[in-house]
Amino acid sequence: MEAHPFAILRIRYIGARRPQFHQIFVKASTMGNGIDQALIADWPYPRLVAHRIGGKLAPENTLAGFEMCARFGYKMIEFDAKLSSDDQIFLLHDDDLDRTTNGHGPAAQHTWHQLASLDAGAWFDPRFTDERLPTLSQIAARCASEAIAANIEIKPCPGRDEITGRLVALAAKDLWRAQKPLLSSFSFDALKAARDAAPSLPRGMLFEALPDDWLAIVRELGCVSLHADHKHLTQQNIRAIRDAGLRVLAYTVNEPARARELAKWGVDMICTDRLDMIGADVVS
């Protein structure tokens, strides 16, 4: 479907000295802002994505999850990357350590040496006792050895959006030499910093529900994809996203019937915890 030659975008500005919103006319062919149109056209990522590496079948954001990916034939993972107090990039979803490790308090207040000794598996099941928090470089090595694609969610600790986006993007650019990882974040500032640091890496903006100005946001960041909570995705807004020239990721889809419906509607990537229930046969 051809884009209309002109579009009206409602641009949200980040900055106290600028108006919050401003309407402008832009020619459709100039709306890319560095977007890799060739990558969008020849999309390299598989349909199914393992949420936090192992979904609900292994401790989240750990190397143990790779075994589940292999067992169920998954070829792409999603995981959360953040910084220690001394700027080591490691995997953890929460701001605090308490839920998924035997540590306590904000992760940002711990050095990597302190974090590296924590148990990140026993909370899930005693079989995973002594599972450690992995570094980004460890994940990259496993992705390379097992030919698994990556969606790196930049997950800044409070107040560390820009530095986390920048350091994660720079590291990812160096660590992934074959297929580029897809960067994503709920943080506009983190994804903007990632874009500025490593513009060649593809980016996807994360939303829960779509804001009115979703198109302006993803265009400003030069995103190739939009990632949204599947509960807020409809056949109509999926069509609008695709018509805007973007790919769509839906999270976190754990019912086979819903996964099948989203695939029928044109969702490109389905991120799930249920590696054991949602396979290629469900979304083909």
Tokens of 196: 């500025």
Tokens of 70: 């292999």
The span from the CA of 213 to the CA of 210, in Å, is 8
| Residue ranges with strand state E in the chain | 6-12, 21-27, 48-50, 76-83, 89-91, 149-154, 182-185, 203-207, 225-229, 247-251, 269-272
The span from the CA of 130 to the CA of 151, in Å, is 26
List, in sequence order, the alpha helices (H) in 156-273: 161-175, 188-197, 214-221, 235-243, 256-265
Q: Tell me the torsion sign for CA atoms 188, 194, 199, 202.
A: negative
**Cβ-count burial of 214 within 10 angstroms (0-12 exposed, 13-18 middle, 19+ buried)?**
buried
Q: What is the DSSP letter of 108?
A: G
Is there a catalytic annotation at residue 51? yes
Is there a catalytic annotation at residue 232? no
Q: Pick the catalytic residue from 4, 22, 93, 110.
A: 93
Q: Pick the catalytic residue from 51, 110, 227, 230.
A: 51
Contact 176, 139 (CB under 8 A): no
Active site residues: 51, 93
